[in-house]
Amino acid sequence: MIRTVTTPYSTTTAPARFLLLGDSHAGPVGRAARAAGIPFSGGPIGAARDFNAGFFDLRGDDPVFRDVETDQLYRGFLAELGAAGLGELSVPLVLTFGLSAHFFATTENWQLYRVRTGAFVPGFVSGRLFDDIVRAMARDAIAFYRHARGLGLRVLAPLPPQRVPSMSDPEIFMAAQETMRRALDALDVEIIDLRARVTDAAGLQRPELCEADDPIHGNLAFGRLILADLLDRGL
Amino acid sequence: MDSPAGLDTPGPWFCRAAEVTAPVRLFYFPCAGGNAAAIAGWQAHLGTAVELHVAALPGRGARLFDEPPRDLDDLVAHLTGAVADLADRRFAFFGHSLGALVAFEVARGLRRQGSAMPECLWVAGAEGPRTRAVRHRLHDLPEAEFIQALRDYRGTPAEILADREMMELLSPGIRADFGLSELYAYKSEPPLNLPIHALRGDRDPYVEASRVAGWAHESTRPLRVSVFAGDHFFIQPHQTDIAALVVAEFAADRVNPYGSLPSRSFWRTAVAGPAMEEIGDLWQPKFAVGQDDPIITVGSCFARHIGRALLEAGMNFCDAEPPPPGLTAAEREARHYGEFSFRTGNIYTAAMLRQWLSWAFGEAAPAADEAGRPGAGTSAPAGVWAEDGRYFDPYRPAVEPEGHPSAEAVRAARAETLAAIRGAIARAACLVFTLGLTEAWHDADDGTVYPVCPGTVRGTFDERRHVFRNATFADVYRDLSAAVALARAASPDLRVVLTVSPVPLTATATGGHALVATTYSKSVLRAVAGQLAAELAYVDYFPSYELITGSPFRARFFEPNLRTVTGEGVAFVMRHFLDAFGPRAGGPARAAAAVRTDVTGDGGDPYCDDAVLDYYRAR
């Protein structure tokens, strides 16, 4: 978990348009909003590994993050918005939990399902077993979305930058992302899917939308595109 | 710019080996640790045709006891100024190894400050600035290893390397030079509009031919490469031949300047030869804008496509007046949100742009409203049109289709836009203004100018009060100059890209033929844009007009009404704009080179942790 944090960001001169919570992929969105002067509250509250399974409990209707500092950040953001708990939130919720497909796609995790040629069993990544495995890996992320929707919140989820680091399997990355997209779509979460606009002919993130010196993240320009999409959706 | 101690030494930054006076100058930039003495013999080979000026850097030669340069930007700034002072005649640059990098950066520095440019850049024993490899890091090696590395380089006499006292004097300067080279970080800018001639030794262990070819990215002209027998210091045994090449290059230019022009300068190779889609290289921007530098767009209807295209390309379109939450897409479009950087609606004329900026920065007298009341503030006009109980802004009647509930609401909305203009100009790096028309309707009472004729979109036409004017070159030049000056007063580093809308006039109020009136309007706007671009280093012209209306394109990019530009046409223009000005300008290597694809075996989470920390650190 993150140990060095400062005062959470908030533009207080105008009402916040949304609450942003997530892993590091939330960073470019928050930075873009900050640079554009779009009022919001929130930001990344941990790394990708922190928000898949076993990361929160419910106290009544309100999620409580198991990591103390994460929970403090979350409470601080809610307080900026005048909400005592998630159920009192009056602005849309933008989440990136469970959408770091590179984390699910770590090549080593899937060796078990490969045959002698190195390929997967035919139909594996499009099959029920794969879907179940990914959903199990992200079970509490999905539960968080389900809970937020159950509270009546408008929830939006940007798909991650289409970057597959060398330790991850591209086929698994794409398939796991698709599994998560379907899972969230079934919960009526609005998916911010910019893939057609941000990728090259190979389906991977265009270089000018990648964070430099970093194999995973989108850059500020990618954040601006997500932000523009959020505003286009009326946020 | 801060200077390291010693760089401000009042001594000359260039010295001359002999008192030769010639019509042209060659500025020589030595290799790491090099000084004027190393090429003292060159002047004899150059004869009286070329004056040789050798960069006299601190920490070596006559400036041995000056603090050596530690920051390339500082060094380049000093050398750029020194060259500009000596640029009263034709000149070229010659750089060897590190000197090639320095010469290249000084050339870019001259371009940035709008100074005279060298006619040619000679680079010897040097890989391209963005393709170069740093194979060994020498500058911070322990002394014994450093001296051994110099011995391997074979550029320093063995007896000097063996002289401990001598090396104590020389070593800091040589180390500093290697540091400049080894820590060099390429910054993307448009290619230079000058020929680059690369020279290399065929047995140079420090220079790969494929990386030398990378110099091609830095020039709009074809790269010329000459190979000589020898190692990294091949220029010494070949100085006669190299001097002859330099003299010949200067002479060639003098005999026939067309001979060194790029293929884009000739109609046959630039226009008649290539397929329509392949016609390119129409624009060599004067300046570069960083990917995250805010860009403002304003102008006529054609310009409304630019902002979104910039955003999609990864640039930073500055939307200083975003829509309020809750509007549907149709509502946002109807109310003209997101078309330009602020909600002025279309700004067709230079006079309108000047008017909005004047109001925003409080430099114009306020207009009176229809009841004759003066404007409420010192900068915002008070005139409001009332219609069926709703109120409209005469200076942007279309942006609120249903009107405002009160005159005060109109003024409040306008004040919001003026604040957005002030905020956007203050933080923008670049303003892109698309000129649309010369024809405009003016208010005879208060001198203001309307975007459209009163009585068309809204308002009531008053024959006495509403006066038609078709601006002349002088009018547009005056208004556009004043608008640029207003913006630059608020943001002194602002760059301006002017362009002319290819969309013809819907109608002309001159009584003449629409085609003739269109040609008049566009030619005046094009001429003024060109004039300002020629006069001002911070103003450039982008040829969107030529890309759509030029005869090579055979009106292909117009709808059947021969007026509306098709989506394909817009995309064609934006492709040219972004190829030259976007994040990939200068070739795909710039963006791709910065992207790492490796990752540690721990799931990449250190990158995620860093990214999260960076988010909070960046405030």
pLDDT in tens, B309-348: 999 999 999 999 999 999 998 999 999 999 999 999 999 9
pLDDT value at residue B609: 64
- How near does any CA of chain B get to the CA of A150, in Å? 22
DSSP state of A189: P
SS3 labels along B350-395: HHHHHHHHHHHCCCCCCCCCCCCCCCCCCCCCCCCEEECCEEECCC
Q: Are strands A56-59 and A41-44 parallel, antiparallel or unpaired?
A: unpaired
pLDDT value at residue B611: 67
pLDDT level of residue B222 (50, 70, 90 thresholds): confident
pLDDT value at residue B606: 56
Q: Does B324 touch chain A (CB under 8 A)?
A: no
Least confident of B50-59, B135-144, B327-336, B471-480: B135-144
Rounded to an integer, the average pLDDT of B12-22 is 80
Is the pLDDT reported for residue B187 higher than 50?
A: yes
- How near does any CA of chain B get to the CA of A175, in Å? 18
Rounded to an integer, the average pLDDT of B478-495 is 95
Is the pLDDT reported for residue B147 higher than 90?
A: no
Look at A4 and B608 and tell me if their CB atoms are within 8 Å. Answer: no
- Catalytic site residue B97? yes
Rounded to an integer, the average pLDDT of B403-420 is 93
pLDDT in tens, B32-76: 888 777 777 888 888 888 999 999 888 877 787 888 888 999 999
pLDDT level of residue B8 (50, 70, 90 thresholds): very low
Look at B292 and A4 and tell me if their CB atoms are within 8 Å. Answer: no
pLDDT in tens, B501-546: 999 999 999 999 999 999 999 999 999 999 999 999 899 999 999 9
The values of phi and psi at residue A56, to 5°, are -150, 160
The rounded mean pLDDT for chain B is 86
Look at B312 and A167 and tell me if their CB atoms are within 8 Å. Answer: no
Least confident of A180-189, B279-288, B472-481: B279-288
Amino acid at A223: G
- Cα–Cα distances in angstroms (integers) from residue B127 to residues A58, A66, A221, B102, B180, in the given order: 61, 54, 31, 13, 15
pLDDT value at residue B5: 34
**CB-nearest partner of A210 from B326, B584, B595:** B595
Sorted by sequence, the CB contacts under 8 Å of residue B75 that are 6+ apart come out as B7, B57, B69, B102, B180
Q: Alpha-carbon distance A116 to A47, whole Å? A: 34
A contact test, residue of B599, B602, B617 with most A CBs within 10 A: B599
B contact test, residue of A208, A217, A225 with most B CBs within 10 A: A208
pLDDT value at residue B364: 52
- How near does any CA of chain A get to the CA of B319, in Å? 7
Query: What percentage of chain B exceeds 70 in pLDDT?
Result: 88
Task: Name residue, tokens 């041995």.
Answer: B64
- How near does any CA of chain B get to the CA of A103, in Å? 6
Look at B598 and A44 and tell me if their CB atoms are within 8 Å. Answer: no
pLDDT in tens, B259-278: 667 788 899 989 998 999 89
Sign of the CA dihedral with B37 first, then B38, B41, and B45 last = negative
Do B395 and B355 form a contact (C-beta atoms < 8 A)? Answer: yes
Residues 292-321 of B with CB under 8 A from A: 292, 311-320
- How near does any CA of chain B get to the CA of A2, in Å? 7
pLDDT level of residue B113 (50, 70, 90 thresholds): confident
Look at A102 and B322 and tell me if their CB atoms are within 8 Å. Answer: no
- Report CA dihedral (B331, B332, B335, B336) to the nearest 10 degrees: -150
**CB-nearest partner of A215 from B323, B592, B598:** B598
Look at A47 and B609 and tell me if their CB atoms are within 8 Å. Answer: yes
Among all residues of chain B, which has the CA nearest to that of A44?
B612
Number of H helices, E strands in chain B: 19, 17
Q: Does B571 touch chain A (CB under 8 A)?
A: no
pLDDT level of residue B199 (50, 70, 90 thresholds): very high
Sorted by sequence, the CB contacts under 8 Å of residue B301 that are 6+ apart come out as B346, B436, B501, B503
Q: Are strands B390-392 and B385-387 parallel, antiparallel or unpaired?
A: antiparallel
| Short-list B611, B65, B419, CA closest to A28 | B611
| Short-list A22, A8, A10, A4, CA closest to A218 | A22
Predicted structure pTM score: 0.72
Angle between helices B143-153 and B164-182 (to 10 degrees): 80
- Report CA dihedral (B36, B38, B40, B42) to the nearest 10 degrees: -110
Contacts of A221 in chain B (CB under 8 A): 291-292, 314-316, 583
Look at B616 and A5 and tell me if their CB atoms are within 8 Å. Answer: yes
Q: Does B596 touch chain A (CB under 8 A)?
A: yes
Q: Does B85 touch chain A (CB under 8 A)?
A: no
- How near does any CA of chain A get to the CA of B124, in Å? 31
pLDDT value at residue B612: 66
Catalytic residue from among B3, B97, B341, B551: B97
**CB-nearest partner of A213 from B596, B613, B615:** B596
Look at B605 and A47 and tell me if their CB atoms are within 8 Å. Answer: yes
pLDDT value at residue A205: 95
The pLDDT averaged over each successive group of 10 residues in chain A (235 residues) is 36 79 95 96 90 92 94 95 94 95 88 86 91 94 97 97 92 95 97 96 94 90 97 95
Q: Alpha-carbon distance A144 to A51, whole Å? A: 9
| Short-list B278, B282, B289, CA closest to B262 | B282
Look at A221 and B607 and tell me if their CB atoms are within 8 Å. Answer: no
Residues 406-435 of B with CB under 8 A from A: 423
pLDDT value at residue B617: 61
Sign of the CA dihedral with B200 first, then B203, B204, and B206 last = positive
pLDDT value at residue B136: 81
**CB-nearest partner of B619 from A6, A37, A49:** A6
Contacts of B592 in chain A (CB under 8 A): 207
